[in-house]
């Protein structure tokens, strides 16, 4: 019985208390990809700031919560497409997101060790974000202005690639690029049906069969805390 109790204790200890937590700030640039402006994949037009919290379930994967806020803008005059340059639309918007998912390390990243460590990583999950609907002020072909409307709450799927490295025993630095595939096509006002609930062909533009994307790129600095594994005592 004593042996069973000892084994049970070691099992609980190694599964429940071997976790290390991380929390820290994130800062970088934000850009959107859609039916207005430049179509360059990574082209920050505004600042993004926020924070990251992680629950390191093992040395290869972590559960991660991210809260970020970014400003985006787009101008047809900066596009490399002549039709967009002639059209001349522009807009500004914000994106506030909460994301929960799984971060996977390519290599072992054991925070219970004092040795310097680094690894590339991937992150995905589910994101819920808030932005503004936009609407063209007049029917085409008259030259209208994209005007902000009511709040637009939607989901997106993050696809993040990054690289992290220990700076000290308790501090980890990381750089990452993350595209978000959204379930809305009206961050830029190109598909007003989402706002009005009906088709308005003379205020639609671009490709209404595709949704908008946005990209957050930046760096984070997380601080680790929590108990070390039982077997390291």
What pLDDT sits at residue 97?
98
> Where exactly are the structural domains of the chain?
19-232
| pLDDT value at 213 more than 60 | yes
| pLDDT value at 217 more than 60 | yes
| CATH of segment(s) 19-232 | 2.40.160.20
What pLDDT sits at residue 214?
97
**pLDDT tens track for 158-190:** 999 999 999 998 999 999 999 999 999 999 999
> How does strand 46-56 pair with strand 61-75?
antiparallel
Confidence of residue 226 (pLDDT cuts 50, 70, 90): confident
What pLDDT sits at residue 59?
92
| Tokens found for residue 11 | 């099992």
Spatial CA neighbour of 100 closest among 125, 117, 71, 70: 125
What pLDDT sits at residue 113?
80
Confidence of residue 87 (pLDDT cuts 50, 70, 90): very high
**pLDDT tens track for 13-22:** 444 444 589 9
Handedness of CA 178, 64, 94, 135 (dihedral sign): positive
What pLDDT sits at residue 12?
39
| pLDDT value at 228 more than 90 | no
Q: 134 or 208, which is more confident?
A: 134
């Amino acid at each position: 019985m004593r042996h069973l109790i000892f084994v049970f204790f070691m099992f609980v200890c190694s599964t429940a208390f071997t976790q290390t937590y991380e929390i820290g700030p994130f800062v970088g640039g934000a850009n959107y990809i859609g039916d207005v402006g430049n179509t360059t994949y990574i082209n920050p037009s505004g600042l993004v700031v926020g924070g990251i919290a992680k629950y390191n379930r093992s040395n290869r994967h972590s559960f991660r919560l991210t809260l970020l806020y970014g400003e985006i803008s787009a101008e047809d005059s900066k596009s490399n497409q002549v039709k967009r340059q002639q059209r001349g639309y522009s807009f500004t918007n914000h994106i506030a997101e909460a994301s929960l998912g799984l971060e996977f390390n390519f290599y072992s990243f054991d925070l219970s060790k004092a040795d310097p460590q680094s690894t590339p990583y991937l992150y995905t999950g589910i994101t819920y974000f808030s932005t503004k609907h936009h609407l063209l002020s007049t029917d085409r072909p008259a030259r209208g202005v994209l005007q902000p409307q009511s709040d637009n709450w939607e989901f997106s799927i993050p696809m993040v690639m990054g690289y992290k490295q220990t700076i000290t025993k308790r501090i980890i630095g990381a750089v990452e690029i993350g595209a978000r595939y959204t379930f809305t096509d009206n961050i830029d006002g190109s598909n007003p049906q989402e706002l009005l609930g009906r088709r308005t062909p003379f205020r639609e533009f671009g490709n209404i069969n595709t949704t908008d994307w946005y990209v957050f790129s930046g760096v984070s600095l997380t601080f680790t805390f929590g108990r070390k594994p039982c077997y390291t005592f």
